[in-house]
């Protein structure tokens, strides 16, 4: 098994403070402001990582409502700022730390959450003809609050909506999504489960529950929920991404390959990440040539990805393995 986890071990960053050379002077505090192309507000789903010159993530944190991430005791030197969660870099993110300072990095909204599978919860804005006007009015006001990332106010409105109409499944889903944004996983789970009990065809609630399972590393639960959601209609490429990752983690390799292909076909230009999933699965199955092909496809589809350098290293290592295998099995 030692050589069978190569791809993910190269692609998943780990903390490496211990590898920083001794004697480097601390720069103290550095603040990084994320500038979004659509000028939208940031949420706690926006993650900021500092990548050192050895390619490891030295520290990671989330942005606040002003799109600022703050790091303390950062050693002087050159770094790359990598964004994940609900945004991706639009510049190279390279900075040089030499003292207390503020820096800016450019970003855009991500079509998927390739580096953070919990991602942002799914809200719904469906209209129900059976909903009383009083409840629908509160639901509409809550959506306005949600658009402004005013989570506490949105929760208050949604509580009023379900008080007026206790069978309001969409309101319970959105309440759970708001709780997720506020970091309250227990109340979020309760609200999503209530939404499903009221409407077992509300796909968004299944996806949101699955995201909570991902956060808790309950991949079996996540796979089950996403399969149920998939059976309700045509899942989005985002949801297929999540399902493929859960299947891979649960060692359901055939299903993971099939789901990756479905995600790839559904929205090619925005879901290159599925090729990393497929590459890992093929490596687990000792199909190294197929694994390399998936990684090469990933680079063709997303050549400026933050993972590009790690993927190139993985390709080189796997190609060397193919060469060594061929030499060993060749004529003596």
Burial 84-115 (b: 16+ CB within 10 A, else e): bbbbbbeeebebebeeeeeeebebeebbbbbb
- Residue 321: the pLDDT is 83
In the sheet with 77-85, reading across from the earlier edge strand, the strands are 57-62, 46-51, 77-85, 94-97
Q: Are residues 241 and 297 in the same domain?
A: yes
In a domain? residue 117: no
Three-class secondary structure of residue 61 per DSSP? strand
In a domain? residue 120: no
Report the alpha-carbon angle 298-304-306, nearest 5.
85
How many whole angstroms separate alpha carbon 78 and alpha carbon 74?
A: 11
How many whole angstroms separate alpha carbon 69 and alpha carbon 88?
A: 15
In a domain? residue 6: no
In a domain? residue 211: no
> Token digits for 17?
């403070």
In a domain? residue 1: no
Q: Which of 109, 138, 165 delimits the end of a domain?
A: 109
Strand duo 46-51 + 57-62: pairing: antiparallel
Strand partners of residue 71 = 30
Q: Are residues 77 and 177 in the same domain?
A: no
- Residue 113: the pLDDT is 37
CA distances from 69 to 16, 63, 121, 130, 261 (A): 20, 5, 21, 44, 36
8 A C-beta contact, residue 84 and residue 47: yes
Three-class secondary structure of residue 174 per DSSP? helix
Instruction: Look up the CATH number of the domain holding residue 331.
Output: 1.25.40.10
Please give the tally of structural domains in the chain.
3
Query: Tens digit of pLDDT per residue, the chain (332 long)?
Result: 333 344 443 343 222 222 223 333 444 678 888 887 656 666 666 778 877 654 556 677 888 877 888 887 777 777 778 877 667 776 667 777 766 678 888 877 654 333 345 556 777 876 677 899 999 999 999 988 887 778 899 999 999 999 999 999 999 999 999 998 888 999 999 999 999 999 999 998 999 999 999 888 899 999 999 999 988 877 877 788 889 989 998 999 999 999 988 887 765 445 677 888 899 899 889 899 999 999 998 888 878 776 788 888 889 988 888 887 775 665 55
- Residue 24: the pLDDT is 38
How many whole angstroms separate alpha carbon 103 and alpha carbon 19?
A: 25
In a domain? residue 159: yes
Neighbours of 230 (CB within 10 A): 18
Report the alpha-carbon angle 215-43-214, nearest 5.
10
Instruction: Look up the CATH number of the domain holding residue 47.
Output: 2.60.40.10
Neighbours of 161 (CB within 10 A): 27
Q: Are residues 183 and 253 in the same domain?
A: no
Q: Are residues 305 and 194 in the same domain?
A: no
Q: Are residues 76 and 133 in the same domain?
A: no
Size of the chain, expressed as the number of residues it contains: 332
Q: Are residues 185 and 260 in the same domain?
A: no
In a domain? residue 24: yes
Strand partners of residue 101 = 30
Three-class secondary structure of residue 24 per DSSP? coil
- Residue 85: the pLDDT is 67
Strand duo 30-36 + 68-71: pairing: antiparallel
In a domain? residue 156: yes
Residue 106: alpha-carbon gap to chain centroid: 18
8 A C-beta contact, residue 39 and residue 78: no
What domain range is 66 assigned to? 15-109
């Amino acid at each position: 098994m030692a050589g069978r986890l190569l791809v993910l071990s190269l692609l998943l960053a780990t903390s490496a403070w211990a590898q920083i050379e001794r004697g480097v002077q601390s720069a103290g505090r550095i603040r990084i402001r994320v500038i979004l192309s659509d000028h939208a507000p940031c949420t706690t789903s926006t993650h900021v990582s500092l990548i050192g010159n050895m390619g490891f993530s030295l520290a990671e944190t989330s942005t606040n409502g002003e799109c600022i991430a703050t790091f303390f005791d950062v050693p002087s030197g050159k770094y790359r700022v990598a964004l994940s969660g609900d945004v991706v870099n639009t510049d190279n993110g390279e900075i040089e730390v030499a003292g207390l300072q503020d820096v800016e990095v450019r970003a855009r909204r991500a079509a998927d959450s390739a580096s953070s599978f919990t991602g942002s919860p799914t809200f719904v804005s469906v209209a129900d003809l059976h909903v009383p006007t009083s409840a629908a009015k509160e639901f509409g006001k809550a959506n306005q609050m949600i658009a402004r990332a005013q989570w506490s106010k949105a929760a208050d409105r949604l509580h009023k909506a379900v008080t007026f109409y206790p069978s309001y499944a969409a309101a319970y889903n959105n309440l759970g999504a708001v709780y997720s944004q506020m970091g309250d996983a227990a109340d979020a789970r309760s609200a999503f489960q209530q939404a499903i009990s009221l409407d077992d065809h509300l796909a968004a609630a299944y996806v949101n529950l699955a995201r909570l399972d991902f956060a808790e590393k309950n991949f079996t639960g996540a796979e089950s929920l996403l399969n149920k959601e998939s059976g309700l209609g045509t899942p989005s490429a985002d949801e297929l991404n999540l399902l493929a990752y859960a299947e891979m983690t649960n060692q359901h390799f055939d299903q993971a390959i099939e789901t990756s292909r479905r995600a790839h076909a559904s929205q090619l230009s925005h879901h290159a990440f599925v090729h990393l999933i497929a590459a890992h699965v093929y490596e687990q199955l000792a199909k190294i040539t197929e694994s390399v092909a998936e990684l090469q496809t990933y680079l063709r589809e997303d050549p400026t990805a933050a993972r590009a350098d790690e993927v190139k290293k993985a390709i080189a290592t796997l190609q060397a393995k193919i060469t060594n295998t061929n030499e060993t099995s060749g004529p003596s």
